[in-house]
Structure 1
Amino acid sequence: MKIDLSDYSRGAGLASDLVNSAPEVRRVSGELLVDPDALARFLAERDLDPRREPVAEDLLRVLELRRELRTVLDAQDEDAVAEAAGELVRRASTGPVLGRDADGRWQWQVETAPSASLADELAVLAGLGLLGALRALGHERFRACASPECDGVFVDTSRAGRRRYCTPDLCGNRINVANHRARRRERG
């Protein structure tokens, strides 16, 4: 896998999405990554193409990575984030190379070792994304979901930096619906 160093939002988004796929976050729907096929769909939805179809061992390793990423996103100290994300990158990266992007422009990229597991490739992508977000946006963009019914966390890579929910379509909609119903009750 080649990872473009200029696109930290993809890796930070992966880290956020992976952490928020856990049953302790998705209390209503439960575990999102229930089997290797669910993991394959999760990756496809994020335009990630593994070298082969995920198997049970890949799922177990990705679930362990998810726990590690939760620890990184929950870290209150930015030095701890930098150290832990750096460890994720060192798992399977072979170092930076200069390569062409899809438009033929030269970009710094990090390659993963050909023998890297799926979880290690995802660790490198997520780690680079978290390091890039920390450097470009600051630790204050590592946030907990504002929904009182959610334990999700995320990295706000939005331009304005005002994102409040780990999954805006889910948590944000729940809050909006609850507020709408409360206003209707008040009006009678």
Structure 2
Amino acid sequence: MKIGFNDYTRGAALATELVNTSPLVREAGEVLADPGALRDFLSEHGVDGGEPGTDDLEEVLSLRSRLRDILETEDEDETAEAANALVARAGVGPALHRDGDGRWRWYVGTVPEAPLADRLAVLAGTGLLGVLDVLGHGRFRHCASSSCEGVFVDTSRAGRRRYCTPSLCGNRLNVANHRARRSPGRP
């Protein structure tokens, strides 16, 4: 796996989405309940994970817990140290390679035959370091929904994202506000 330094949004999105698969966040329970669910998650995020097994699932769930700790860390130096440790799990490089358009780009690779969780750790760690460098630690946030325990990394251009899963948490709040405005007895 080759991870571009300037494509930090991919790794940060993976970290956000992985953390928010937890039953702590999802009312429906564990999203990654079995290796098939993990395979589907990886496919949705463009990660070739082959056919993950039970051991892979356990290691990814452990990584998910570690990522949550990192996203909740309030000290940016601790965040950088922890994200660097993720990259060190199986990262090699950096190395300079040409991209598909022939431009030179910096990449971090993963060691051959690295376990799935370690490859994901390198991808997420590189993304978190990129966000920390380019956008700042203030982009690591808790979901604004009072009924959600989610955390996320805001990689939006404007930096105004408020919800871990806008289509879920943001929509819940919008529906609740709409119902409150339309309730009988409201002046």
- Fold similarity call, TM over 0.5: yes
C-alpha deviation, 1:95, in angstroms: 1.4
Is 1:111 the counterpart of 2:102? The answer is no
- 1:126-159: per-residue Cα shift (whole Å, max 9, x none)? 0010011011111111000000000000010000
State the distance in 1 between where 2:100 and 2:57 align: 29
The secondary structure found in structure 1 opposite 2:93 is strand
Seen in structure 2, the aligned counterparts of structure 1 residues 116 and 163 have a Cα distance that, compared at 3 Å, is same
Question: What residue in structure 1 maps to residue 92 of structure 2?
Answer: 94
State the distance in 2 between where 1:49 and 1:101 align: 19
Q: Aligned ranges for residues 39-188 of structure 1 at < 5 Å?
A: 39-50=38-49, 52-185=50-183, 187=186
Q: TM-score, normalised by structure 1?
A: 0.96
Percent identical among aligned pairs is 64
Is 1:2 the counterpart of 2:10? The answer is no
Question: What residue in structure 2 maps to residue 32 of structure 1?
Answer: 31
C-alpha deviation, 1:49, in angstroms: 1.5
C-alpha deviation, 1:99, in angstroms: 1.9
State the distance in 2 between where 1:167 and 1:17 align: 8
C-alpha deviation, 1:105, in angstroms: 2.7
The secondary structure found in structure 1 opposite 2:101 is coil
| CA RMSD, 1 decimal | 1.1
Q: Match for 2:161: what amino acid?
A: R
- 1:64-123: per-residue Cα shift (whole Å, max 9, x none)? 000000000000100010000000000001111122323333211111000210000000
Is 1:12 the counterpart of 2:15? The answer is no
Question: Unaligned 5+ residue runs, structure 1?
Answer: none
State the distance in 2 between where 1:166 and 1:47 align: 20
Detail structure 1 runs of 4+ shifted over 3 Å in the superposition: none
Q: Match for 1:85: what amino acid?
A: A
Q: Match for 1:44: what amino acid?
A: S
Q: TM-score, normalised by structure 2?
A: 0.96
Q: How many residues align?
A: 186
State the distance in 1 between where 2:46 and 2:182 align: 41
Question: Unaligned 5+ residue runs, structure 2?
Answer: none
The secondary structure found in structure 2 opposite 1:12 is helix
